[in-house]
Structure 1
Amino acid sequence: MSVRVTEGSRAHQAEGPLVSSIDLERTRRAGAGDPAAQAWLVARLLPGVRQVAQAFLRRSADADDAAQLATLAILRAAPAYRGEAAIEGWARRIAVRTVLRYLRAVRRRDAPIAGDLSDAEEVPASSRGSAQEALPRHVRDYLGELPEAQREALILHHALEHTVDEIAEMTDVSPDTVRSRLRLGIAALRKRVRQDIAVGRRRSP
């Protein structure tokens, strides 16, 4: 996969490293198996890793398993970390890729449950609050009806607040493809909501 260099990343390169030399060395020591460094890295990154896992997996056991796998993947990747991106951003990309792989395996095992999302992270920012409460069905039900690629793009963009370029890098597609998935996903969600409203569907308590 080719590496895209954005204006923002060029600016960071001009400004210098995004991580201190101490944190860079700690991260590399964590990758080499140093227990204290590993504990430091896990404590720093685990909240963000859990957020990613919970955004895609509703069942706590699955989210915990995915978070554990993502944490191990981060530790395995730590020796190669060069400080060219902030530690949290670098780790989040690894976590997203790992969680998406786990999610696909869960869907093969138990598709109806795997389609659900966590209550904490499932709602696009534009749909929270009173707008969400006014929907005929819970937003996770609508998202669960979308094609996998559209659903993932919506969660990454709206719930986890990644940019189009970041999602493209994480999912190995072009930014234009991500934009298309977001546009189609939003259109499909709106269509389903309008259909439910037209037939007088009511959200269950």
Structure 2
Amino acid sequence: MNDSDLIKGSIEGDPKMQEALYQKYAPKMYAVCLRYAGNNDDAQDLLQEGFIKVFRNLEKYRHEGSFEGWMRRIFVNTSIEQYRRKVHLNSISEQEERGIEDASVSVLDQLAERDIVQLVQELSPGYRAVFNLYVIEGYSHKEIAELLSISEGTSKSQLARAKSILQKKVAEFLGVQRKQANR
């Protein structure tokens, strides 16, 4: 069944079509939620909240661009709203921003996706949100600043700190993996 049929049936209130739409997209949208959530339970909550918004707003979908992309934006925005309710980032001065190094995270290529997701989930909510928005979703620092009500400098510093922390976590993770392999 194609997206147009699922959308039309869901708008008309057909429970089978709504269930089919949910089943088709829940795994992908759960992955989006998991990147922003601190744990599986929070990701499940975001998933449910996101689908409620999707079903309430299906009539607003204009069939421009991909339906999955439209849904993804809803789930990212739902995650950001949840983040805003829970966390406030501290702004930093431009002088502090200049002192932060932007560390390379190329070692991430050596890890499995589930390992990377786990390491990203271990970041504080602020670092995790900025990292996901910039690295995964492709937002600019200006857009992130607007979404999270922070300065561009804070967004840049949060990203740099997130990358630095991830780099250390990856090094530790790979060190443990090597030790286990050498046994």
Regarding TM over 0.5, the answer is yes
1:86 aligned residue: 66
Gaps of 5+ in 2: 89-103, 112-118, 177-183
1:164 aligned residue: 139
Paired residue type of 2:161: A
Three-state SS of the structure 1 residue aligned to 2:19 is helix
Higher relative contact order by CA 8 Å / sep ≥ 6: 1 or 2? 2
CA distance in 2 between partners of 1:193 and 1:62 (Å): 21
2:4 aligned residue: 24
Paired residue type of 1:154: F
Gaps of 5+ in 1: 1-21, 109-123, 132-137, 197-201
Q: Against the structure 1 CA distance between its residues 187 and 29, is the aligned structure 2 distance closer, same or farther, given a 3 Å change threshold?
A: same
Question: Matched residue pairs, number?
Answer: 148
TM-score, normalization by structure 2? 0.60
1:57-76 alignment runs, 5 A limit: 57-76=37-56
Residues 48-69 of structure 1: CA deviation (Å, up to 9, x unaligned): 2101111122322221111111
TM-score, normalization by structure 1? 0.55
CA distance in 1 between partners of 2:151 and 2:64 (Å): 24
1:98 aligned residue: 78
- Contact 1:27–1:78 (CA under 8 A) maintained in structure 2: yes
Q: Against the structure 1 CA distance between its residues 106 and 180, is the aligned structure 2 distance closer, same or farther, given a 3 Å change threshold?
A: closer
**Partner residue of 1:35 out of 1, 8, 15:** 15
1:47 aligned residue: 27
CA distance in 2 between partners of 1:127 and 1:179 (Å): 26
Residues 54-98 of structure 1: CA deviation (Å, up to 9, x unaligned): 112232222111111111111111111111120110000001111
CA distance in 2 between partners of 1:42 and 1:58 (Å): 23
Quick one: percent identity of the two aligned structures?
A: 21
